[in-house]
Amino acid sequence: MNPLRWSYRVSFLFGFLICAGLLGFALYAEYQWGLEPCPLCIFQRIGFLFMALFFLVGSVHGPRAGGRWFYTGLVLLGALFGTAVAGRHLWIMTLPPDQVPACGPNLAYMFDAFPFEKALKMVFTGSGECAKIQPILGLPIPLWALLWFVLLSILAIRATLHRAAPRLRR
């Protein structure tokens, strides 16, 4: 089964399964390994969740022409958001120890205690827990997330551009 020949629906279902697997792994790492997610990690999960939703809807709907670009655009919007968050997270990780922001409150408290705009600004400013490097297979988690956002974007675009082979009439 050649993945380069998969139909739009199969490719989008595969994208959904990858996103679901990544989210499942994130929950496993949180609850089994005790890796507490920082606010930026949670926002990256939201990006994957957004992508998973539109991968699934696109796969079930199986639209033609412009409809495919609609779902691909929504998937790419989630990927763009996730890529920006992962990039910011990686940048915070590269800061020298004396420039790392102090640890702040958790995400739920920020959104309860502060106006939405201020809470978002606090999240993207980063905090000390965002600078911790916890490698998996030698790479930090935000780098893995960034790689998956890019690969899933390529999958969505390839599925949308793919033309099914003409069927033979009998």
The DSSP output letter for 36 is P
Summarize pLDDT for 27-73 with one digit per residue, the tens.
999 899 888 888 888 889 999 999 999 999 999 988 887 888 999 99
Query: In terms of pLDDT, which residue wins out, 109 or 39?
Result: 39
Give the DSSP H/E element, type plus range, for residue 139: strand 139-140
Over 70: is that where the pLDDT of 166 sits? Answer: no
In the beta sheet, which residues pair with residue 63? none
80 confidence band (pLDDT: 50, 70, 90): very high
The average pLDDT across 93-118 equals: 71
Q: What pLDDT shows up at residue 123?
A: 66
| Residue 46 near residue 39, CB atoms below 8 Å | no
pLDDT band at 146 (very low <50, low <70, confident <90, very high): very high
The answer, yes or no, to whether residue 169 has pLDDT greater than 60, is no
Q: Is 133 helix (H, G, I), strand (E, B) or coil?
A: coil
Q: What is the pLDDT of residue 103?
A: 59
List the one residue out of 104, 48, 109, 38 whose CA is nearest residue 75: 48
Contacts 24+ apart (CB under 8 A), 29-36: 29/136, 29/141, 35/134, 35/141, 36/129
**pLDDT value at 144 more than 60:** yes
Residues 86, 145: contact at Cβ < 8 Å?
A: yes
Name which of 166, 148, 165, 164 is nearest 156 in CA terms. 148
Domains defined for the chain, CATH in brackets: 3-161 (1.20.1550.10)
In the chain, which residue ranges form alpha helices assigned H by DSSP?
8-31, 39-61, 65-93, 107-113, 116-125, 141-161
